[in-house]
Amino acid sequence: MRAIYPYRNGFAAYAWVTTPDGKRKYVYGKTRPEVHEKWVKLHAEARKGPVATRHRTVAGFLDYWLSSVVKPNLAPLTYVAYEGAARLYIAPHLGTKRLDKLTVRDVREWLTKLADTCQCCAQRKDKKRPAERRRCCAIGKCCEQYPSGRVVQIARDTLRAALSQAMLEEEVSRNVAKLVRVPKPRRRKVKAWSVGEASSFLEHAVTADDSLYAAWVLALTLGLRRGEILGLTWESIDFEAGELYIDHQLQRAGREVLHRETKTEDSEDFLPLPDLCLAALKRRRQQQDADRKAARDRWQDSHGLIFTTRYGTPIEPGNLTRAFAVRIRQAGVRPIPLRNTRHTAGSLLVALKVHPKVAQRILRHSKFTMTFDVYSEASDEEIRDALQRLSSGFGQKPDMTISQ
């Protein structure tokens, strides 16, 4: 079959090459040799990979946006979240549509369909299991694993972010995802622990010689986040000055565990350490020294991290969350999520009548509330005094202090 044929006032040719939307691509010219030259170039491009069309599809632009804009410029966790939403929720429904032809109606219909689509069926989760372990969608028993409102919102926000970049690059004239609203998911509020509950939890942890006792103390007294706790190194602690410097965090991003800088400058700060924290950290240092001796050649030094496994490797963020839940059950106190310890720390500061500006500095909030005097400064002395009172509020026992 001849690929070049007369077309209008010249000639045309097509080639079966891979394009983002899976269609054949045409070339045009006034003369047969001109079209033949373009046709040869087209095949040469096809040997290198998918051939871009004049108008990109949604899937094509998402691939470009993720690799050229998001991955090199944004945090690894942001890339992982955007990539997952694009691959699992956007591309299967809107991927083949032309970017410049995407409409508000397309987006609305996609979100409606997404909310009513079983993700076990759509992602073939059950079918990927061995035949003997298949139990639902692969054998005709749909498990109705519909995405939550939060997942739908993340999918819409990902498309909105991608289309904002497309507008900057003048590939679309408006961001149609911005014009479609989705119900805002309501988070279930969890009541923070009281001083008594937090004290009972910590007393149980120290009695059990929990290797993560110091982590729980830092979470409940200073409001440190999970990644900030796991990212602390011994260089972050000044025992003589009684200070803690927060500048790194440990996070899982896809298949990697990253030790990286904190998310914002507001999160990076020096904090005075109350006696309870100092005692807990000295205890942790002794525990780690014992682990190092027991592990011998199997010990792996992980950048001097304070909280490690018994072989010196970083603790998985998810494992810290699970360990917290296990300790709660063993302590017999009311369960709360690990992330809620930050709210607990704030509530305890309020209960102890700590000045709001001092509490803002301790928790490193950029904005604590609109009523606070944003121009006032909290001195280190005030912060130290507040944390010492918080330490006393937990009922620290004299025998918990360990010599350095």
Q: What pLDDT is recorded for position 2?
A: 52
Q: What pLDDT is recorded for position 378?
A: 43
Q: What pLDDT is recorded for position 263?
A: 58
Between 395 and 307, where is the model more confident?
307
How far is it, in rounded angstroms, from Cα 161 to Cα 166? 9
CA distances from 276 to 215, 299, 307, 380, 402 (A): 12, 29, 17, 18, 10
Mean pLDDT check: name the lowest of 95-99, 189-193, 217-221: 189-193
Q: State the average pLDDT over residues 257-284.
A: 74
pLDDT(173) > 70: yes
| Cα atoms in the Cβ-side hemisphere of radius 13 Å centred on 198 | 32
Q: Which CATH class is domain 195-400?
A: mainly alpha
Domain topology for 58-179:
DNA polymerase; domain 1 (1.10.150)
Record the tokens describing residue 90, joined without a space.
């956007």
How far is it, in rounded angstroms, from Cα 85 to Cα 92? 10
Per-residue pLDDT tens digits for 19-72? 555 556 666 677 878 877 877 877 776 666 655 556 789 999 999 999 999 999
Say what percent of the chain tops pLDDT 90: 34
Report the mean per-residue pLDDT for the chain: 80
Q: What values do phi and psi take at 228, rounded to 5? A: -70, -40
How far is it, in rounded angstroms, from Cα 229 to Cα 215? 6
pLDDT(126) > 90: no
Q: What pLDDT is recorded for position 372?
A: 42
Q: What pLDDT is recorded for position 401?
A: 43
Q: State the average pLDDT over residues 137-161.
A: 92
| Cα atoms in the Cβ-side hemisphere of radius 13 Å centred on 293 | 5
**pTM score of the predicted model:** 0.66
pLDDT(7) > 80: no
Say what percent of the chain tops pLDDT 70: 74
172: left (phi over 0), alpha (psi -120 to 50) or beta: beta
Per-residue pLDDT tens digits for 200-221? 899 999 999 999 999 999 998 8
Going from N- to C-terminal start, the domains of the chain cover 4-46, 58-179, 195-400
Q: What pLDDT is recorded for position 14?
A: 59
pLDDT bucket at 402, cuts 50 / 70 / 90: very low
Q: State the average pLDDT over residues 80-109.
A: 93
Q: Which amino acid makes up residue 222?
A: L
CA distances from 150 to 53, 186, 208, 298 (A): 34, 9, 38, 42
Q: What pLDDT is recorded for position 245?
A: 86
| Beta strands at 269-272 and 243-246: parallel, antiparallel or unpaired | antiparallel
Give a three-class secondary structure readout of the chain.
CCCEEEECCEEEEEECCCCCCCCCEEEEECCHHHHHHHHHHHHHHHCCCCCCCCCCEHHHHHHHHHHHHHHHHCCHHHHHHHHHHHHHHHHHHHCCCEHHHCCHHHHHHHHHHHHCCCHHHHCCCCCCCCHHHCCCHHHCCCCCCCCCHHHHHHHHHHHHHHHHHHHHCCCCCCCHHHHCCCCCCCCCCCCCCCHHHHHHHHHHHHHCCCCCHHHHHHHHHCCCCHHHHHHCEHHHEECCCCEEEECEEEEEECCEEEEEECCCHHHCEEEECCHHHHHHHHHHHHHHHHHHHHHHHHCCCCCCECCECCCCCECCHHHHHHHHHHHHHHHCCCCCCHHHHHHHHHHHHHHCCCCHHHHHHHHCCCCCCCCCCCCCCCCHHHHHHHHHHHHHHCCCCHHHCCCC
CA distances from 333 to 146, 194, 200, 336, 396 (A): 33, 11, 7, 9, 18
How far is it, in rounded angstroms, from Cα 381 to Cα 355? 13
Q: What pLDDT is recorded for position 12?
A: 67
Q: What pLDDT is recorded for position 52?
A: 56
364: left (phi over 0), alpha (psi -120 to 50) or beta: left
Which of 287, 145, 306 lies closest to 218 in space, CA to CA? 306
Q: State the average pLDDT over residues 194-198.
A: 83
Name, in order, each residue with C-beta under 8 angstroms of 219's C-beta and a sequence gap of 6 or more.
226, 229, 338, 341, 342, 345
pLDDT bucket at 9, cuts 50 / 70 / 90: confident
pLDDT bucket at 345, cuts 50 / 70 / 90: confident
Mean pLDDT check: name the lowest of 199-208, 322-331, 351-360: 351-360
Per-residue pLDDT tens digits for 361-382? 666 666 544 324 322 334 455 5
Separation of CA 141 from chain center: 33
Q: What pLDDT is recorded for position 376?
A: 37
Between 6 and 106, where is the model more confident?
106
